[in-house]
Amino acid sequence: MQPFVIGYNLPIFIAVFSLMITISDARKLALSFPEVIELPHFHLASFRANEKIFATLWEKEKRMMVKLSPVDQSVFCDLNKGVIYPVPNKWGLQGATFVELQKVKKGVLKDAIECAYCLAVKKPNKKKDEK
């Protein structure tokens, strides 16, 4: 194995670390959609549209949970094994999906957040309808 040499390995170093999504990047992506608000959800930051949580940010674990349809969850998980995977409990069976921020590409994360957002805004809000 070759030793790390500054200059020689710099493009590899930049390429690897440019793939990492920061907590701030993930938050900005989630908040970039219309009428999204950030509110606390237990110890997590949650992102809501149409009064529905579509994503939560797990800062300590450097991951995001997005709420996907079963079809979207299957597609994202098949394409990015180890990077995107169902939450390992009953929530995961209902579309709750973890995204590892240090491994995912920004475009893939944006697409996953967009799918979750669209699912939240297209469902009727029973609470709003009752008012």
pLDDT, one tens digit per residue, over 71-122 is: 999 999 998 889 999 999 999 999 999 999 999 999 999 999 999 999 999 9
Looking at the structure of the chain, the number of domains it has is: 1
Q: Is residue 9 part of a domain?
A: no
Q: Rounded to the nearest 5°, which phi and psi values hold at 103?
A: -115, -20
Q: Is residue 88 part of a domain?
A: yes
User: Which pLDDT value is given to residue 18?
Assistant: 53
Mean pLDDT of 33-52: 97
Beta strands in the chain (DSSP E): 37-41, 44-49, 52-58, 63-67, 84-86, 96-100
pTM over 0.75: yes
Q: Is residue 55 part of a domain?
A: yes
Q: Is residue 130 part of a domain?
A: no
Q: Is residue 15 part of a domain?
A: no
Q: Is residue 11 part of a domain?
A: no
Q: Which domain holds residue 48?
A: 21-123
**What whole-number distance in Å separates Cα of residue 118 and Cα of residue 52?**
11
**What whole-number distance in Å separates Cα of residue 43 and Cα of residue 39?**
11
* Coil/strand/helix, residue 112: helix
Q: Is residue 8 part of a domain?
A: no
13 vs 39, more confident: 39
Q: Is residue 5 part of a domain?
A: no
Q: What is the CATH number of the domain that holds 92?
A: 3.90.1150.30
